[in-house]
A and B are shown apart, each in its own frame.
Chain A
Amino acid sequence: MKGALVTGATTPVGAAIVAQLLKDQVASPVLAVGAESYEDVKGLFPQPEVIYVQADLTRSRELRTLLFAPAKAHNVETVIHTALHRAAHATGSRVHQLNVESTRELLRLCEDHPTIRTFVLRSHAEIYRVRAVEPEIIDERHPIDLSPQIAQWLRDRAEADLTTCASIGLSSLSIRVLRCAECLAPDTGSQLFDYLGSQICFQPLGFDPMINLISLPDLARAFALATVAESSGIFNIPGKDTLPLSVLIEKWGQTSVPVPSVLLSPLYWLRNKVIGSDFVYDLNRFRFHFSAVMDGHRAERLLHYTPQSAIMWPAH
């Protein structure tokens, strides 16, 4: 069996992917790559087939060493790239370096690598443009939001996605870009998780869009399937839960308070200043107004992925 390398392995998503690859016996060994020292993450990977490697992906030399020393030695065939800054408030060139430039560099090095054949990128449903005039069911050809006013958090995600997509067909690698629905779990960079952290959730008055969410087990399963798939390209990875925003708030045990749309941005700005939440309303403005549900037919047909596990709703 060939090896796999997972970046961002110390995040909940990365760790779940590592565990799933071993559980489904699609890769062994698995090189789990994280920025933390081994001492800090010792208990995270109890499996003997996991080799933890500490690396700073923003440093070109470390990236090269990672790929051409341990990855080559362990016959790594697939690279799964999930590492990126999760905090919406984090901005600047260092953040861009990890989100975009490391993706570009990793992709380039993988192309020159003697054993790596497959590159899988974790991309995000949030990069799709959501507007009143757009379809509510989003397929892979749906426009990406590249409007000039979007925040770095979104722009970096879109750029990393498009950088990888640009290599499809040009590169010797088999490239799979998985545009995943939002995973409602802590420390995954989920804006909705932060939004639901407050007992009172302000919602645009008169709007109640449909939202699709993916569970962590489904997300990990999609990457395991993508590792062994034969097709390359872009794949939407929807989750099992599709529901209106107000029902989501209710199921999470919080209270929805409709507020005129114009007040939401200042209200959440104020809340961030007082409480320090990572939820940024302006990043979510359009999807809090208009429905956006991903069409997963392509992933179903070519990756054999269908959502199976629902979100674990908090008991209340």
Chain B
Amino acid sequence: MDRRTFLQNSMASAAYLGIAGAGLQSCSTQGTKQITILHTNDVHSHIDPFPSDHSRYANLGGLARRADLVHQIREENPNTLLFDAGDIFQGTPYFNFYGGELEFKLMSKLNYDAATIGNHDFDNGIDGLLAQVPHATFKLLSANYDFTNTVMNGFVNPYHTYYLDGIKIGVYGIGIALDGLVLQKLYKETVYHNPYEIALDTERKLKEEENCDLIICLSHLGYDYENNPNRPDDVTLATKTQHTQLIIGGHTHTFLEKPDVRLNKIGEEVLVNQVGCYGLNLGRIDFYFDSAKKVAGKGVSIQV
């Protein structure tokens, strides 16, 4: 190899490395991306762990421990979101004494990203809910409650989108019918809309207008009302939607052994999960993303 060729070769190599380097930087796309979704539901003001002599949940739960767990997982993967599926309030004297202030402040300290509204979150009336809004740094999401004619107007969004590591995540909230569950004088002029219709409309918006890569529903409908098919529930919601990939449920305090895999309207798999109640468990769903070419024809592999 004479000197000239050597130089030319090195220059070319340098150029190659440079470009390739820049390329790799600008597209961290080559590797798999991971989005971690953490969730709770029906915590019902359970801030302290259950006492050691409790008949069922001895030494389980507790906000300070949940904080440790969430912190560990966020360290492991910074691209983590934390959600709650409603019924944050009511269940221990902390709520009776402080009206939910402590619950909202602690959820903010744990960096919750969003919560939907459960029926018990109206227990101090819609004014009682509004009073706690200043203590929340997380979003309150509900697509099928219309708060227009209430004091909560402007404090609740139908959905919110997050952008993590180039992945756009759309999250919307769905609430349960209030009539019969909550006294009208508590929820006042809050209007409940059909959850299925609203879910379809909202997920379409998140897919087509917001171009989300991942769509999640926070639902307080309840897991499954087998004996009452007219009552909307999460497993039916899963079969009626087509863009939603995960339904994080609440209300029925259902302890699922593992996330439930259902088929949606177009025959694709959708996860329905609920982790019991009282902050005894933290749900965790990891979503992995690859380039379309790598995924092509392989479909989504689900490990639960």
Partners in one complex: no
Q: Which residues of A contact B (CB under 8 A)?
A: none
